[in-house]
């Protein structure tokens, strides 16, 4: 198979998760950052300015568009790099190098905002500033993905064991608006850390104090946050005791159901992220998980912002 045929087949939306129009726009968006990072990498390797004119020297085995396409296919299906290498007729290391070049650029893109194509949110502070300015009520939830088990006797091995899933996981926090559009994904931590603790380490308490007009709905895992900021954070009502009258239990069930219905959109956003095979069960190296999760969430946010 020639590279042109591989590019034609793999650029289909079934393979990349993007329409060809969006794929072309993404390639154009990443071109300048990639060229800047490539120039910086070469300068660091040489230790001085280039001596030959731009364009001299050997050509890349994979053109930039193919590097982006190969990275998207690997993120979507978690295919072995050797499989993509066979499609393109190059060595496996060429695909691996392409992924390591493109994946950080995708992770650094930030998250799209509905109705504002020029704006992208990159930090938790950006999300709170946007929510305060636009009057958006946030939805916050955590999500876990199983990862490889660390080697025996390795320090910190137990940190990845999730108390909820009883597996080695990494968890991330997802924030959406009322319609379920992903505004931010981050606070990626080992699975043993509690969802609320992971978010507090990102400084969310300071942000709630700085933006008292921002409101959020959360699940029971963030009940402590709701206790600290009762006028801003709403958690499900506490379950009544077994000796509670039936009328009060029914009222609790109705309130819990109403709060869950308003918060379910963030669960749908988590499910949308996990349509990408890589976030169903991650089999790569754990040190690349954070970058991989942010890259996929960034791509998903583009689609959700256009709904």
Q: Which DSSP string do the residues of 14-70 spell out, in sequence order?
A: HHHSS-HHHHHHHHHHHHHHHHHHHHHHHHHHHSS--SS-TT-SPPPSS-HHHHHHH
143 neighbors 188 (Cβ within 8 angstroms): no
Q: In this predicted model, which residue has the larger pLDDT, 95 or 306? A: 95
pLDDT of residue 1: 59
Read off the pTM: 0.90
Cα torsion through 123, 128, 130, 131, rounded to 10: 140
pLDDT of residue 281: 94
Is the per-residue pLDDT at 240 higher than 70?
Answer: yes
pLDDT of residue 42: 80
pLDDT digits (tens, 9 = 90+) for 80-137: 999 999 999 999 999 999 999 999 999 999 999 998 989 999 999 999 999 999 999 9
The lowest-confidence range among 10-14, 227-231, 248-252, 290-294 is 248-252
pLDDT of residue 55: 67
pLDDT digits (tens, 9 = 90+) for 43-83: 788 888 877 776 666 667 788 999 999 999 999 999 999 99
220 neighbors 236 (Cβ within 8 angstroms): yes
pLDDT of residue 122: 95
Q: In this predicted model, which residue has the larger pLDDT, 21 or 241? A: 21
pLDDT of residue 58: 63
Q: In this predicted model, which residue has the larger pLDDT, 280 or 61? A: 280
Q: Where are the alpha helices (DSSP H) in 164-245?
A: 195-200, 204-210, 223-228
Is the per-residue pLDDT at 238 higher than 90?
Answer: no
Mean pLDDT of the chain: 90
- Give percent of the chain above pLDDT 70: 98
């Amino acid at each position: 198979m020639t590279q042109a045929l591989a590019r034609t087949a793999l650029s289909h939306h079934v393979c990349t998760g993007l329409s060809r129009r969006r794929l072309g726009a993404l390639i154009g968006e990443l071109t300048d950052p990639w060229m800047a990072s490539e120039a910086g990498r070469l300068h660091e390797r040489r230790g001085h300015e280039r001596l030959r004119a731009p364009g001299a020297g050997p050509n890349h085995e994979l053109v930039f568009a193919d590097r982006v396409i190969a990275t998207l296919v690997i993120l979507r299906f978690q295919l072995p790099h050797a499989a993509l290498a066979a499609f393109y007729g190059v060595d496996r290391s060429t695909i691996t190098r392409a992924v390591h070049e493109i994946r950080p650029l995708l992770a650094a893109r930030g998250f799209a905002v509905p109705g504002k194509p020029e704006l992208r949110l990159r930090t938790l502070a950006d999300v709170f500033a946007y929510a305060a300015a636009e009057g958006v009520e946030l939805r916050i939830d955590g999500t876990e993905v199983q990862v490889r088990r660390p080697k025996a006797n390795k320090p910190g091995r137990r940190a990845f064991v999730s108390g909820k899933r009883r597996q080695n996981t990494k968890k991330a926090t997802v924030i959406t608006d009322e319609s379920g559009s992903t505004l931010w994904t981050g606070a990626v931590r080992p699975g043993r850390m509690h969802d609320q603790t992971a978010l507090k380490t990102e400084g969310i308490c300071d942000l709630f104090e700085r933006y008292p007009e921002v409101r959020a709905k959360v699940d029971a895992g963030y009940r402590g946050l709701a206790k600290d900021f009762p006028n801003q954070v709403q958690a499900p009502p506490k379950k009544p005791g077994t000796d509670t009258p039936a009328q009060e239990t029914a009222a609790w069930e109705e309130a819990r159901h109403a709060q869950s219905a308003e918060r379910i959109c963030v669960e749908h956003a988590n499910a949308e992220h996990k349509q990408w095979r890589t976030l169903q069960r991650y089999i790569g190296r754990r040190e690349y998980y954070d970058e991989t999760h942010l890259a996929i969430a960034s791509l998903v946010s583009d689609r959700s912002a256009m709904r």
